[in-house]
Amino acid sequence: MPALTIRNIPDDIHRGLKALAAKHGRSAEAEVRELIASAVLPSQRQRLGTAMTDVWGCVRLTEDEAQIIDGARDRAPAKPMSFDE
């Protein structure tokens, strides 16, 4: 697992970090890991379908447009992948 070294942390920040870690019952290192994770990881992952609905949800097709799109679809079965050369 990668390691990270942080230098030149001001004393007041270091004391505050240690106090926060003690409040949460963990080491300063564990507290830093938690703070970094909460800063860079999304709190709730957005699903692809939800994202598509957010983007395209306001689009309303007429019946004619829907038929054009349906008629243009390739209905041939997909070919299975082959790893042979």
pLDDT of residue 41: 83
Token pair recorded at residue 34: 């938690």
Q: Tell me the pLDDT tens digit for each residue of 49-72.
A: 888 888 888 888 899 998 999 999
pLDDT of residue 45: 78
Cα–Cα–Cα angle for 67, 72, 77, nearest 5°? Answer: 120
Q: How many residues does the chain have?
A: 85
Token pair recorded at residue 81: 């992948």
Using the structure block, give the residue that is written with the tokens 């070919």. 79
Spans of the chain below 70 pLDDT: none
pLDDT of residue 25: 96
Q: In sequence order, what DSSP letters do the residues of 47-74 get, joined into one string? A: PHHHHHHHHHTT----HHHHHHHHHHS-
Cα–Cα–Cα angle for 37, 39, 9, nearest 5°? Answer: 90
Q: What is the reported pTM?
A: 0.50
